[in-house]
């Protein structure tokens, strides 16, 4: 069975600081990887995804993530965070078995950006 | 293009009762997945429907059941409610095409409280 670990449960940063949120998954086969974001009072939104190709993927609002297959990792990064990035961030993985997309989520990282 | 919608927004039930939650998929999508998100946790996969048939199930008991209709809307039914069923229930829709990975888009969720 696949699983996802997000190491940082709560992160507090000042505006303009750099962000890196860790995500590791356990599954030996081919995977699709996702980061979703949930802003206060809003529903889960797709931030970025990796299916294949260039392991460095860029998403919305200046976010990017790097897939490192040897480390089973898909860390999320942003060079300079803004107050509006305050949200909960979820990493998710889908084992590519050809049977559709059944996501396994991490427990989430609550990011607070202070002015 | 309309997004994923869910109803009702909030629901309060008592232990032992039954509940039905509803979801309308994003226009053009043929697959719907349901997730349970307990407080402080990431969403957990309940099951997925593709072309009106169950296409995968997570670690949930049979009292969790679902339907997908010809217009790709969906229902989640939970019988014999337990206190631990209190959670946010998320619906996600996607377009599953042959040989291609799909991306799930989430609705705002239904907050179920079991007393």
Residue linked to tokens 């619906």: B91
Rounded to an integer, what distance in angstroms lies between the CA atom of residue A20 and that of residue A36? 15
The span from the CA of B90 to the CA of A101, in Å, is: 15
Distance of CA B104 to the CA centre of its chain: 12
Token pair recorded at residue B16: 């032992």
pLDDT tens digits along B27-50: 888 899 999 999 989 999 999 998
**CB of A59 less than 8 A from some CB of B:** no
Inter-chain CB pairs, A–B, below 8 Å: 65
Confidence of residue B101 (pLDDT cuts 50, 70, 90): low
Put simply, whether B66 touches A (Cβ < 8 Å) is no
A53-65 burial code (b ≥16 CB/10 A, e <16): eeeebebeeebbb
- Cβ–Cβ contact B42 with A under 8 A: yes
pLDDT for B98? 62
Q: What is the pLDDT of residues A20-56, one digit of tens each?
A: 999 999 987 788 999 999 999 899 999 999 998 999 9
Separation CA A5–CA A23 (nearest Å): 6
Asked if B45 has any chain A CB less than 8 Å from its own CB, the reply is yes
Q: Does A106 contact B42 at a Cβ distance shorter than 8 Å?
A: yes
CB–CB of B33 and A99 under 8 A? Answer: no
């Amino acid at each position: 069975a696949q699983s996802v670990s997000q190491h940082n449960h709560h992160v507090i940063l000042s505006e303009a600081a750099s962000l890196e949120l860790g995500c590791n998954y356990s599954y030996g086969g081919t995977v699709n990887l996702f980061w979703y974001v949930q802003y206060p009072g809003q529903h889960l939104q797709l931030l970025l995804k990796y299916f294949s190709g260039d392991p460095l993927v860029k998403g919305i609002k200046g976010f990017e993530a790097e897939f490192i297959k040897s480390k089973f990792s898909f860390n999320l990064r942003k060079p300079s965070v803004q107050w509006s990035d305050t949200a909960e961030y979820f990493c998710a993985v889908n084992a590519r078995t050809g049977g559709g997309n059944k996501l396994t989520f991490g427990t989430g990282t609550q990011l607070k950006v202070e002015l | 293009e309309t997004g994923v919608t869910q109803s009702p927004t909030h629901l309060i039930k008592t232990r032992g009762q039954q509940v039905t939650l509803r979801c309308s998929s994003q226009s053009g999508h043929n697959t719907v997945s349901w997730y349970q998100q307990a407080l402080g946790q990431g969403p957990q996969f309940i099951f997925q429907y593709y072309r009106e048939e169950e296409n995968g199930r997570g670690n949930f008991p049979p009292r969790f059941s679902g339907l997908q209709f010809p217009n790709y809307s969906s229902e989640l039914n939970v019988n014999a409610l337990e206190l631990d069923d209190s959670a946010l229930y998320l619906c996600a829709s996607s377009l599953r095409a042959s040989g291609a990975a799909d991306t799930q888009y989430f609705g705002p969720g239904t907050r179920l409280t079991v007393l």
